[in-house]
Copies of this chain bind each other. A is one copy, B any other.
Amino acid sequence: MSDAALWSALADPHRRAIVALLLERPRPVGEIAEACGLSQPSTSKHLKVLREAGLVRVRQDAQRRVHALDPAPIAALDAWLEPYRRLWNRSLDALGRRLDETSDAPRHPPPPKD
């Protein structure tokens, strides 16, 4: 069910921007705020959401609160995506087969259809 938190956290474009920023390196709140053109309180709130979704972790450094990405939820997203990726591959496959049929290129063995 923290699935829901994850999705709604990433639903916001500002939050995705923050996540992208943190991909480069961990950053304190102020830096994030400035980089995203957000006010400090707003940034703090977004970070709270990200924290509660498990996407972000905090390390306290004096008055600074340095936020860093936590890779785990990304894996959860990846897992969610899995079955759909299968669909995607299947459709690529079909496209490839169709191309093969209309060309005289060497054909690879038909993959076992499940």
Contact = CB atoms under 8 A, between A and B. Distances in A.
A69 B88 CA distance: 10
Q: How many copies does the complex hold?
A: 2
Chain A contact patch, size range: 20 to 34
Given A71-B88, A75-B88, A83 B11 contact: no
Interface stretch (A2-10, A35-43, A99-107): A2-10
A59 interface: no
A64 interface: no
A74 B78 contact: no
Given A23-B87, A81-B81, 14 more contacts: A7-B10, A7-B16, A8-B11, A10-B11, A11-B11, A69-B84, A71-B84, A71-B87, A71-B88, A71-B90, A71-B91, A74-B87, A74-B88, A78-B81
